[in-house]
Amino acid sequence: MAALEKIRKRAAILTIVIGAGLLAFILEEAVRASGAFTTDTLAAKVGDEKIEIKEFQDDPRLKQQAQDPEQKTDQAVLQQNVLQQMIEEKLIEQECEDANIVVTGAEVTEIITKSPSQGIMQMCQAVGLENPADLLKLLKNPGKIDPNDEQFRALRAQYEMEVQNIERQLKKHKLGLVVAGSMQANNVDIQLTKNESIMYDITYAKVDYASVDDKYIKVTNQDLQNAYNKYKELFKINEENRLVQYIKVDIDPSSDDKAKAAQKINTILADLQNNEGISGIRSNSDVVIDSMVTTQDDKQLFRFDNQAFKQENRIQAITDLLANPEGCQRKDPTGRDRNTFLYKVMRTYQSIDSIGLDLVRVNGNKQRQDSVLALLNGNVSLDSIKSVPDVEVNAFNPQQQKMRGFSLNDSIRSKIKAANDNFFIIDANDNGAVIARVASKVPERTFYVIARAKYVDYPSEGTVDALTATLQKYINANKTLAAFKKNAKSKPYNYEVVAEMISPETAQLGAQGSQFGMMPGISESRKAVKWAFESKPGTVSQIFATDTELLVVAVDKVYNDYLPLDNPDVKKFLTEMVKNEKKAEYLMNQYKFNKNMPRTLEECASLMKAQIDSATVSMASPQLDGRVAGVVAALGEKGKGQVKVIAGRNALYVIQIVGKNNSDRTLSEREYAQQFVQQHMPVQQMFSGILRGSRKVKNNLVKFM
């Protein structure tokens, strides 16, 4: 029963697992409300294997991340992230099955016991165990613990999740080794690598294309068509993409809203300054009040609402407050932030800053507890006390157990102060006790208890209604795609129309790659993406409203095999490429390099009004420009002393090969073979792409938003 008691005492560590079941119905209802239950029940299909929407909804990672108070992730982004992980796991499972790759229980156990993850160590701490091996013993043989006890089941569920994750990682690692091992360099590859590895010292002069004014360069439609035909394979797509045009209107407080908010904030600040503590604002329904603890020396805020507080730029307000603890400080919002924070020191106290404790847990009555305490204070070592029945020892570990003084209650702080180097009882009842000794301590300092009042400046209903009415008026007057795009800048609207390519995996508008958490997009815009995939080209949507934006979308084009030349991203890419090629030709003509090439680099540099510089290049390490490296490698030693003009990607170069650089040692055939694989077939970087290319993958989640 002792282990069960430990689990209960540390239930907070298991909150994520315990709360998962309670949260399940919330997520299910959210998906149901957004139209998840359609006739199509597939979230995705990987090869011939299906990921049913229910399997996706039941994935614990959805529930685990959804209830993390520090995560403000858009649910659509979270869902897409988890589905991408599930797709990759299916691909790995299928490839491992084909290659007869297995992970044994013994391998998993070895990882858990010898290289435990953070999750495993947290579980050990939750039940007061020293190492993962003891955790495995407890889970295998709970002894007097009821296996159906809620806390024990939560612990086992969390452990099973860790095991599954370890199995996945081991399979991915083994599969990666197999893939890497299958890539072998032949004699031609080795010779190619040798040639590419040769370093050449060069001197050069260059002129950047950016120095040429675009007014001298004309890029015709035929130029772009020729470039598109040449590089068409770059624009191949594996799933349907759609080009959409959208207007986003920020729902921000109006100037009138801000003026009224400023009056309220000034009143709140005066009430906070002129009354004791927070008595002046305690009954004010416009503010949310919480507290924190910090010191003069700390560079971060410790806690708000018993959770890690993200400092952002509010740390300056705390710094200023501690410089003048008798006053109040105010942090006003910047950008689209609506939160104003007011800070006041409530009280101060002296306390140890941080402390590490050796902990001994004793099962038994008071007599038993006192006897163990006497042994400990009689200089019996912690290692020796481990052998005493019904006694468990948790020695101080600076990486895991250091506590801040403010987190301890007054009673424990008093006991620590009086104990010196002796063991003392932290907590006890008729069945057991926790005995501690100070193992590490930072001296006392002043702690400040600070109250924080938050006022949120929301836009008024009138502001929201006015923004909505204006946007609706624009939609009513511009129902066609052409009009939607053409008239956005007209008065009184002055809207910005944004073009964006979307796919079924797009979780948010406004940020390419946002579905992978790379950058923020328009929160809660997945419904607009779903609408765009259900609507015909030329259609303009209704208004999609969130707490912070109004959004209207128009479907422009649908692409199924290749992105066409008129796609904005394709056209921009090719235009830049053709423009640089024409700028190279323009510069060549200006310097008359085509007709009368100077014989020396110095003469060329003089014509170009450029400095002469030096570099060491190779195909394996281009340094300046891949095209420069290619020409140098092709010329080799035979080109020594020659002056060559090279139209690089972003500049016009004139180079002269000085000679081979012999600073690097010569590699063996085997090393060249390994280098070839690393350079031309980098498995780690290409692994996900290799997996995706092995089987057809269909992401269907857009239908369930």
Alpha helices, DSSP H only, in 99-149? 105-114, 118-126, 132-140
Q: At what angle do helices 683-694 and 150-182 cross, to 10 degrees?
A: 100
Q: Identify the band that residue 305 occupies on the pLDDT scale cut at 50, 70 and 90.
A: very low
Contact predicate 365/456, CB 8 Å: no
Q: Identify the band that residue 595 occupies on the pLDDT scale cut at 50, 70 and 90.
A: confident
Give the mean pLDDT of 42-66: 80
Taking alpha carbons only, the member of 59, 155, 157, 160 closest to residue 105 is 160
Identify the pLDDT of residue 689.
67
End-to-end CA distance of the chain: 47
H or E stretch including 88?
A: helix 75-98
Weakest-pLDDT range from 5-19, 355-369, 625-639, 676-690: 5-19
Taking alpha carbons only, the member of 333, 411, 425 closest to residue 370 is 425
Query: How far apart, in Å, are the Cα atoms of 30 and each of 25, 27, 76, 79, 650?
Result: 8, 5, 11, 12, 50
pTM, entire model = 0.65
Q: What is the mean pLDDT of the chain?
A: 81
**Per-residue pLDDT reduced to its tens digit, 618-660:** 876 767 888 888 888 888 888 888 899 999 999 999 999 998 8
**Per-residue pLDDT reduced to its tens digit, 503-552:** 888 888 987 543 444 456 888 889 999 999 999 999 999 999 988 899 99
Report how far residue 206's alpha carbon sits from residue 627's, in angstroms, rounded to the nearest whole number. Answer: 13
- Non-local CB neighbours of 283 within 8 Å, separated by 6+ positions: none
- Non-local CB neighbours of 406 within 8 Å, separated by 6+ positions: 293, 302, 303, 351, 447
Place of tokens 């002469």: 612
Angle at 177 between CA 172 and CA 179, to 5 degrees: 90
- What is the chain's length? 705
- Asked if pLDDT for residue 309 goes beyond 70, the answer is no
Give the mean pLDDT of 411-431: 81
Give the mean pLDDT of 370-374: 88
Report how far residue 112's alpha carbon sits from residue 166's, in angstroms, rounded to the nearest whole number. Answer: 8
Give the mean pLDDT of 561-586: 91
Identify the pLDDT of residue 253.
94
Taking alpha carbons only, the member of 685, 686, 680, 629 closest to residue 193 is 680
Report how far residue 441's alpha carbon sits from residue 694's, in angstroms, rounded to the nearest whole number. Answer: 57
671 vs 103 pLDDT, higher one: 103
Place of tokens 């010191």: 295
Alpha helices, DSSP H only, in 141-203? 150-182, 187-197
Place of tokens 């939750």: 126
